[in-house]
Structure 1
Amino acid sequence: MGPKLRKRDRDRAERLRLAGGPTPTLRERAVALTRERGEVRTAELTAIGIPRCYLSRMCDEGLLVKVGYGRYRAVLPKAA
C-alpha cells in the first residue's frame, strides 16, 4: 500500500479525478493558444486570464517569442 494521505489530500485527489484531471496551468494555456493561432496579441492572452507580467517571463524561459509590440509566437519544439 502507498503512503498514507491526509483526508484533505484524498478529497482533493478525488475532486480532480471526478473533474477529469488537473486543469492546465496558465503557461500551458498561453502556449496552447499561441500554437493554435500562430501569433497572438497581448489582449488575447489577458482575455483568457494570463497576466501580462507572465509574458516576459515566458519569453525568458523560451516558451514564447516576442515578434513585435504586443505580439507573441510560440517557440517550435526542437526535432529529435
Structure 2
Amino acid sequence: MAVESSPQLPKRRKRDRDREERIRLAGGSKPSLREKAYAFARERATVRTYDFTAIGIPRHYLAWMCEEGLLVKVGYGVYRAADREAA
C-alpha cells in the first residue's frame, strides 16, 4: 500500500520571509507608479509633466498611460485623467 505524501512547498529564504513581514507590518505593498500617477491626475483637473516628475513618475510612463487610455494628453506637457470631464 503506497502512502501519498502531501506536496512539499519550497523553502523560502529568510530575507524573503523578513521582507514579507515588513510589508505586512507596513500595511501592505506600496502603490505602483501607474496607480500613483493615475490617482494624482484624478485629484486635479490638469497635470503638467513637471508635476508628475516632481512626485517621481518617469516621463515615459505618461506615454504608456495615454496608450492604455488612463490619461488623455490635452496639450504639450499637459494631461488629465481619462474619466474626468474636460476642463
TM class, shorter-length: 0.7 to 0.9
Following the alignment from structure 1 to structure 2, what is the Cα–Cα distance between the partners of residues 5 and 37?
A: 46
Instruction: Provide TM-score, normalisation by structure 2.
Output: 0.78
The RMSD of aligned alpha carbons is 1.9
Distance 1:64 1:4 in 2: 41
What is aligned with 1:26?
33
Unaligned runs of 5+ in 2: 1-8
Q: Which protein is bigger by CA-based radius of gyration?
A: 2
Q: How many pairs align? A: 76
Which consecutive segments of 4 or more residues in structure 1 shift more than 4 A? none
CA–CA distance in structure 2, aligned partners of residues 71 and 55 of structure 1: 10
SS of the equivalent of 1:29 reads: helix
Q: Does 1:58 align with 2:65?
A: yes
Give the unaligned 5+ runs of structure 1. Answer: none
Whole-angstrom distance in 1 between the partners of 2:11 and 2:27: 21
Aligned with 2:22 (options 15, 26, 34)? 15
Aligned partner of residue 31 in structure 2, secondary structure: coil
Identity in percent: 67
